[in-house]
Amino acid sequence: MISNNFYESFLKPVFSKKDSSDVAFCIRDKVYSYAQLFDAAEQIYDIVENLSENIIGLYATDDIRTYASIIALWTCGKTYVPLNPNQPKDRHVDVVTSVGTHYILSADNKYDISLDGVNMLSTKDVVVSGYVRKDTMSIKQVDDSALAYIIFTSGSTGKPKGVLLTRSNVAAFIDSMDNVGLDITSTDKCLQPFDLTFDFSVSGYVIPLVKGASIYTIPQKAIKFSYIAGLLEDYHLTVLQMVPSMVRNMLPYMDELELESIRYNIFCGEALTGKVLKAWHEGNQNMVSYNMYGPTEDTVFCTYYKIDKSNIPNPLSSNDIINIGKTFVNSGLLLLDDNDQIIKDKDIEGELCLCGSQLTPGYWMNEKENEAKFLDINGERYYRTGDLCYYGDDQNLMYVGRKDFQVKINGFRVELGEIENKYSEISGGRFAVVMPFVNEQYNTELAIIIEGKEYEFKDHKAQLANELPPYELPAKWLFIKSIPLNESGKVDRKAIKKHFEL
């Protein structure tokens, strides 16, 4: 018997709008109706339906054809793997080679991965106006265990790792969001500011589509916070999904912002501070915020904490970091101490581990990582997040920080070891440590600390830019005679931070 919750939760409600003149997307000030979205999806469906492979690369430009491609691929039971236009082609080659696909959909005719055996399937000529629909797009019956998408995140070995998310995972996520209390309707105007290689984007388009709402995107090279300000002024958005740094950058312009239309803010991707949250709510005391938490491995979000006028004067926080609340209806969690014993008492730090129907089946072709990150506890499969938390008041989760050296830059997850490894490769084996620091705008950036005499590093910096996405590039290049070690022989990052006042 086929399990098809994905059909009921996503495909069915979205298909019910296929002839609607309501606005589905507004992209660079051009609006597209649900009917136009489906006109484009039908044409792309004809391209992909009979492909011999189920996993298809998607060059994720900010284009209606990109979103129509997802609709088409999911309708015929296929999987998309997003490729970020701002990332080096070498990274695309790694991803495409890893999943073994021979097809990439692209709305950009200029893009070519230049890899033998890989076919670029252009959607540039797909029309969204004046097309006469043939109604050839039929929903293929595919079990919910099939993959919906694969997102590649930073890997400590220098190679990105693919996180597998199934149709069942997406269905569970939609159901969880329905139970949070967000009353999103077809009249809402929703912000989707993320690149499709960032899993926050899944919520940015999936949730509005199933509600029949309108989605407003941001051009990939635009300055996000200023573009959001413009969208608020021009279109009076009602639902915002953002990483806290976006709001942090808008705070100096609060007097000029038009926030009265906002009903809901969804924050995720970074620690949310009380300072940012309270300042933002001063612009509209009636809006409701949700501080959400979730790694890519647990389908976007899995915990939430609601903030409205009843608790905004004193939201539950620690060191000004707003708590991440309690689990979604389709998620579960526990905290483990250093001996992998379950922590039940309040105020005791432990590693956050997650379970439930939103949890990924694992990493693509990476058994070593699967063994390291997943464990069985009392017959339940859990994922080790690497995040340290403790139970606060009323069992709300208080976020402490990373257990390892993984950080978030503009909402993107970055493993410092990846950058260190790439630098070692291009510099002929030089030793360096990468560390986060907070700049004058209170945003997180990276510094690379290189052992040895200072040298002209312009060429190495350029090479690193060819190997890594922009958010992984160090903003500071520093030199030290000898990297300090602690008593265990490990790199003493505290000493480095103190030395450079990072």
Q: In terms of domains, do 162 and 51 share one?
A: yes
Average pLDDT estimate for 96-125:
94
Q: In terms of domains, do 299 and 185 share one?
A: no
Q: In terms of domains, do 92 and 130 share one?
A: yes
Q: In terms of domains, do 420 and 393 share one?
A: no
Question: Is the per-residue pLDDT at 428 higher than 90?
Answer: no
Q: Quick check: helix, strand or coil at residue 95?
A: helix
Q: In terms of domains, do 36 and 83 share one?
A: yes
**Chain segment 343-389, per-residue pLDDT in tens:** 999 999 999 999 999 999 999 999 999 999 999 999 999 999 999 99
Question: Is the per-residue pLDDT at 487 higher than 50?
Answer: no
Q: Residues for the chain: how many in total?
A: 502
- Could you tell me if 179 and 329 are in contact, meaning their C-beta atoms sit under 8 angstroms apart? yes
Q: In terms of domains, do 399 and 455 share one?
A: no
Average pLDDT estimate for 47-69:
97
Q: In terms of domains, do 206 and 251 share one?
A: no
Q: In terms of domains, do 90 and 183 share one?
A: yes
Instruction: Count CB neighbours of 130 within 10 A.
Output: 7
Instruction: Count CB neighbours of 379 within 10 A.
Output: 5
For 172, the token pair is 């569970």
Work out how many domains the chain is built from and give that number: 3
Question: Is the per-residue pLDDT at 489 higher than 60?
Answer: no
Average pLDDT estimate for 171-200:
96
Question: Is the per-residue pLDDT at 325 higher than 90?
Answer: yes
- Could you tell me if 298 and 360 are in contact, meaning their C-beta atoms sit under 8 angstroms apart? yes
Average pLDDT estimate for 473-488:
84
Q: In terms of domains, do 259 and 361 share one?
A: yes
For 387, the token pair is 């995040």
Q: Quick check: helix, strand or coil at residue 139?
A: coil
Q: In terms of domains, do 147 and 108 share one?
A: yes
User: Structural domain of residue 457, as residue ranges?
Assistant: 409-500
For 144, the token pair is 């919910």
Q: Select from 388, 404, 420 the last residue of a domain.
A: 404
Q: Select from 187, 220, 253 the last residue of a domain.
A: 220
Average pLDDT estimate for 440-451:
91
Average pLDDT estimate for 64-68:
98
pLDDT of residue 493: 83
Question: Is the per-residue pLDDT at 405 higher than 70?
Answer: no
Q: How high does pLDDT run on average in the chain?
A: 93
Q: Distances in Å between the alpha carbon of 155 and those of 121, 158, 350, 419, 459?
A: 29, 6, 23, 9, 24
Please give the radius of gyration of the chain, using alpha carbons only, rounded to the nearest integer: 23
Q: In terms of domains, do 379 and 422 share one?
A: no
Instruction: Count CB neighbours of 54 within 10 A.
Output: 15
Residues 6+ apart with CB under 8 A from 59: 66, 83, 85, 104, 105, 106, 107, 108, 111
Q: Select from 404, 428, 445 the last residue of a domain.
A: 404
- Could you tell me if 149 and 80 are in contact, meaning their C-beta atoms sit under 8 angstroms apart? yes
Helices marked H in 256-343: 274-281
Angle, CA of 298, 387 and 440, to the nearest 5°:
110
Q: In terms of domains, do 94 and 210 share one?
A: yes
Helices marked H in 100-212: 167-178, 200-211
Single-letter residue type at 320: D
Give the CATH number for residue 451.
3.30.300.30
For 366, the token pair is 């990476």
Average pLDDT estimate for 33-41:
98
**Chain segment 271-324, per-residue pLDDT in tens:** 888 988 999 999 999 999 999 999 999 999 999 999 999 999 999 998 888 999
Give the CATH number for residue 183.
3.40.50.12780
When pLDDT is cut at 50, 70 and 90, the band that residue 213 belongs to is very high
Residue listed under structure tokens 């018997």: 1
